[in-house]
Amino acid sequence: MTSNQPLRLLELYSGIGGMHVSAKESGIQFQVVGSCEINPTALQVYSHNFSSSIPKPVNIMGFSTQDLDKLSPDLLMMSPPCQPFTRQGLKRDLDDERTSSFIHFLKLLQECRNPPKYILLENVSGFETSRTRELLLETLQKCNYSWQEFLISPLQLGVPNSRLRYYLLARLKPLQFCFEISDQVKSVFPVCTCVRTSDYKMNSQSQCENCSCPVLASVSKLLYKHHFNNLSNTEPITDKLLTDSECNFKTLESNINLSCSELVSPLEKYLVENIEIDNFLLKDKTLTRYGMLLDIVNASSKRSCCFTKGYSHFVEGTGSVLQHNLDVDVDVTFEEANKFEKDDPKRLELLQKLELRYFTPQEVANLMCFPSWYKLPTEITNKQCYRVLGNSINILAVTSLLLILLH
């Protein structure tokens, strides 16, 4: 393949098209040669945004070696079913039938004539200790790949959302990575993730004076774009910086050097203005029964919990809720409310004053770094949106890793 030819991308378990979005956001030239998904809602959202490359509603179990050879992908991106490995699930691993399609594909990978040159895989934290992961690494070894594993959260890129995920990058030998690989699962990015105050050109071999990591211009530009260009309001980060800094890191006026992970933006930059708040307020029953289990944040918070597919349906461990009324102190309110029994109307009255609401689907998408051009169809319900978003990926994290993989 010559450098001016687009990469042939095969997207498995495509969901709502997160991997496709990441490829597009990376700026690489690519052609989707195959995309597979069986969830009807996910297919609807995907086709709404990518009408020219609608995934085939087929099970990967129906794939053959001949099919894979015919597609001849250069780049394979996938996010296999995570339920067999989640902390809230049964963790049946290889014994879970939802793993069968992935096992099947690993067999195909060993048999195909022209395996993909690049592989990017995403899954939940916990996959790294699974037997399925061991099978994956054994397959990559047999197929002559080199690889690196990561456990990465968007917080490390300055996004106020905890979504720790397992990632694997693999290159077909003799292709080499732009960083030194190891057998350990890395918990940091292998290149500089500090954001510059000015978008100046740098030698690709340059090293960041702050984090001592190699500077990859494409990743630096991506992070700069996210933190400065994509958000309409004035960045609070900008006010802290010395303008026209000549170094590839953030410099505070106190001369303390901080990386992107230490300069997380507040949630307000990801919120939607003028929403119909009544549509997202927590129900009275949820407030009275489960109020103490809620993870409550507000617009100035610089964190939020991982949003799962059960958001708005289940309470514990599915994502944060937002305090809309900031005139009321949340700690004082709960202290007063706890003086009353759960079924006491006075307790409910106190909690209602907080105006606790769910993040809207669009706000969840914003925190997962979906770009402004990506739209959720108006025909699907909020519950459906939460479910498919909960199964999707963080675009900024995956795009950054994709650029690292392909460099």
What Rg value do the Cα atoms of the chain yield, rounded?
22
Known active-site residue 305: no
From residue 173, alpha-carbon distances to 97, 177, 180, 241, 326 in Å are 32, 10, 15, 43, 56
Instruction: Give the whole-angstrom CA distance, residue 76 versus residue 79.
Output: 10
Q: Are 155 and 261 in contact (CB under 8 A)?
A: yes
Q: Among 82, 143, 194, 306, which one carries the catalytic annotation?
A: 82
Q: Tokens standing for 400?
A: 């950054």
Pairing mode, strands 250-251 and 145-152? unpaired
Q: Tokens standing for 18?
A: 């997160």
Triad 311, 154, 259: Cα angle to 5°: 150
* 39 three-class SS: coil
Instruction: Give the whole-angstrom CA distance, residue 60 versus residue 38.
Output: 9
CB proximity list for 193: less than 8 A, separation 6 or greater: 156, 157, 211, 213, 219, 223, 259, 260, 261, 400
| Active centre residues (catalytic) | 82
